């Protein structure tokens, strides 16, 4: 009989708050995190809105205990992972097999970009310490070292579903009795590379995004980090603490339609959600709230919307996209939304989908526009769909 997987700790840093309680406060008060570029040195300043974490690298370094010369991704990741680890109560527990599974898409690209400017003028130029942590895995190792976890550390990178896949992998490590607890999630800092990359795809909104709205114009890039601490059933008993919730189901599927676009019938999204329901033994009508992937692009939103119509129709749960607050945090988005979903189960919170006016044509449902708490939330579904057709869904349930 496989162990249940419980969530014992949470940590998050995003454009709307530097820790869990700040994020909740912003969500409750409808305060979004997107605006003009503050920290990134890009020509797109004052042209493209982004959702940056409101701390400079020096401030993040002070908070994380790392050098300000280290990649911003590592700084953000460390802060969120430490919050989650400390929150969980498993830190320092003897005879406990603990692992760390982290995700990111950019690795240390923020420093590599700086290196490359000089390197391109002369191959002997550029500071090597700016590229030594270029790799995604290297960033994970910096955070793991801070947590004091050295055995069983790995990194996943599957575009926007990365940290959802990290959480799935971590859960399976526990279910397969390889580990007792795993700190799982992801981090991504805003970089010129990603900002310009997404700009070439012409899917960035020049205003604050409007997910799931008929007149949506694109996404806002964000940055952040978030981690959950997953523990086995026997470990939660030992901890004598109430978990936030249970990770009751998950599924990883692939759209296999196009490298960047989602299929019109939302096949990958449909399979991921359906698979997660099957995995958890739940029916669509058991879901009380869907935390949408909801980036705000023309293509993503209708694809996800149609998949929801196919799976849930004619009765739909409440739903919203918290990317309307945090922006799209790429590799961190799966875990950012996992943290918010876990909090939703714990406190009965349903988050509003900001700036929503007009339902998408052809979809007989609309997202929530008001924040509420103490709702009877039993099961929450969280979606993360990425480039390469990588679609993952997670289900969080009351324990």
Partner 1 sequence: MDKLINDLKVQIIAQLNLQDIKPEDIADDQPLFIEGLGLDSIDALELIVLLQQQYKIKLSNPSDGPKVFYSVKTMAEYITANQS
Partner 2 sequence: MAAYIRATANISAQNTFEGYQALSEPIAYTNNRLSCVEPDYKEFIDPKMLRRMSRIIKMGVTAAMKCLQEANIKMPDAIITGTAYGCMDDTGTFLSKMIEFNEEMLSPTAFIQSTHNTVGAQIALMLQCHNYNNTFVHRGFSFESALIDAKMLLHEGTANNVLVGGLDEITGYSHVILSRFNIYRSGPVSNINLFKTSSKGTIAGEGATFFLLSGDSSVNNYARLDAIHTFYKPSNIAEIEQNISAFLTVNSIGIDEIDLVITGRNGDAKGDAIYQQLNNSVFKDLPAANYKHLCGEYPTASSFALWLAANILKTGTVHPVLLEKHKDEKEIKRILVYNHYQNTHHSLYLVSAC
Element (H, E) at 334: helix 333-347
CA dihedral 93, 5, 159, 62 (to 10 degrees): -30
Q: Contacting partner 1 (CB under 8 A), which of 29, 46, 215, 259?
A: 259
- Is residue 260 a contact residue for partner 1 (CB under 8 A)? yes
- Give the residue among 42, 349, 264, 384 at the shortest CA–CA distance from 392: 384
Structure tokens at 58: 């020096």
Specify the residue for token string 């059933």: 233
293 is catalytic: yes
Active-site residue identified among 136, 160, 245, 251: 160
Structure tokens at 27: 């969500």
Classify 54 as helix, strand or coil. Answer: coil
In whole angstroms, what is the distance from residue 249 CA to residue 244 CA?
15
- Is residue 202 a contact residue for partner 1 (CB under 8 A)? yes
Q: Contacting partner 2 (CB under 8 A), which of 13, 61, 136, 343?
A: 136
In whole angstroms, what is the distance from residue 373 CA to residue 376 CA?
9
Residue 303 CB, shortest distance to partner 1, in Å, is 13
Active-site residue identified among 251, 328, 379, 391: 328
Structure tokens at 348: 């009965």
User: Site size for partner 1, by CB under 8 A?
Assistant: 7
Active-site residue identified among 136, 293, 379, 391: 293
The interface region with partner 2, picked from 36-44, 179-187, 310-318, 350-358 by CB under 8 A, is 36-44
Structure tokens at 270: 């449909």
- Is residue 1 a contact residue for partner 2 (CB under 8 A)? no
379 is catalytic: no
Residue 205 CB, shortest distance to partner 1, in Å, is 13
Q: Contacting partner 1 (CB under 8 A), which of 200, 215, 361, 374?
A: 200
Q: CA 280, 282, 287, 290 torsion: positive or negative?
A: positive
- Is residue 258 a contact residue for partner 1 (CB under 8 A)? yes
Burial of 202 by CB count in 10 Å (0-12 exposed, 13-18 middle, 19+ buried)? exposed
117 binds, among partner 2, partner 1, none (CB under 5 to 8 A by kind): partner 2
**CA separation (Å) from 375 to 248, 379, 397?**
19, 11, 14
Residue 331 CB, shortest distance to partner 2, in Å, is 10
- Is residue 215 a contact residue for partner 1 (CB under 8 A)? no
- Is residue 201 a contact residue for partner 1 (CB under 8 A)? yes
Structure tokens at 111: 């420093």
141 binds, among partner 2, partner 1, none (CB under 5 to 8 A by kind): partner 2
How far is C-alpha 367 from the chain's CA centre? 19
- Is residue 41 a contact residue for partner 1 (CB under 8 A)? no
- Is residue 261 a contact residue for partner 1 (CB under 8 A)? yes
Residue 202 CB, shortest distance to partner 1, in Å, is 5
In whole angstroms, what is the distance from residue 5 CA to residue 41 CA?
42
Q: Contacting partner 2 (CB under 8 A), which of 390, 393, 395, 397?
A: 390
261 binds, among partner 1, partner 2, none (CB under 5 to 8 A by kind): partner 1
Binding site for partner 1 (CB under 8 A): 200-202, 258-261
**Residues marked as catalytic:** 160, 293, 328
């Amino acid at each position: 009989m496989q162990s249940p997987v419980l969530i014992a700790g949470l940590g998050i840093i995003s454009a709307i708050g530097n820790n869990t309680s700040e994020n909740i406060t912003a969500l409750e008060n409808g305060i979004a995190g997107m605006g003009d570029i503050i920290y990134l040195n890009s020509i797109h300043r004052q042209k493209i809105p982004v959702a940056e974490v409101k701390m400079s690298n020096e401030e993040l370094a002070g908070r994380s205990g790392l050098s300000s010369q280290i990649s911003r991704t590592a700084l953000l990741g460390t802060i969120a992972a430490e919050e989650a680890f400390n929150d969980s109560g498993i830190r320092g527990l003897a005879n406990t097999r603990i692992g760390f599974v982290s995700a990111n898409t950019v690795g240390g690209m923020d420093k590599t970009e700086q290196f490359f400017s000089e390197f391109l003028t002369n191959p002997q130029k550029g500071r090597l310490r700016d590229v030594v942590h270029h790799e995604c895995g290297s960033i994970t190792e910096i955070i793991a070292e801070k947590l004091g976890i050295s055995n069983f550390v790995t990194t996943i990178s599957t575009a926007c579903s990365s940290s959802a896949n990290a959480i799935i992998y971590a859960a399976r490590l526990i279910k397969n009795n390889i580990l007792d607890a795993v700190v799982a999630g992801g981090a991504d800092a805003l970089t010129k590379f990603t900002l310009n990359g997404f700009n070439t795809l012409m899917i960035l909104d020049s205003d604050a995004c409007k997910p799931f709205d008929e007149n949506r114009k694109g996404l806002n890039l964000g940055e952040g980090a978030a981690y959950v601490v997953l523990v086995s059933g026997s470990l939660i008993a030992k901890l004598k603490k109430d978990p936030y919730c249970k990770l009751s189901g998950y599924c990883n599927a692939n759209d296999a339609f196009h490298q960047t676009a989602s299929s019109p019938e939302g096949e990958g999204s449909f399979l991921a959600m359906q698979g997660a329901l099957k995995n958890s033994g739940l029916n669509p009508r058991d879901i009380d709230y869907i935390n949408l992937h909801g980036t705000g692009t023309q293509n993503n939103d209708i694809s996800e919307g149609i998949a929801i119509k196919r799976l849930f129709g004619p009765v739909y749960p409440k739903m919203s996209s918290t990317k309307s607050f945090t922006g799209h945090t790429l590799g961190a988005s799966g875990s950012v939304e996992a943290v918010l979903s876990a909090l939703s189960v714990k406190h009965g919170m349903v988050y509003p989908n900001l700036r929503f006016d007009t339902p998408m044509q052809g979809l007989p449902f609309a997202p929530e526009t008001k924040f509420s708490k103490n709702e009877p939330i039993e099961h929450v579904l969280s979606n993360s769909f990425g480039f390469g057709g990588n679609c993952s869904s997670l289900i969080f349930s009351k324990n």
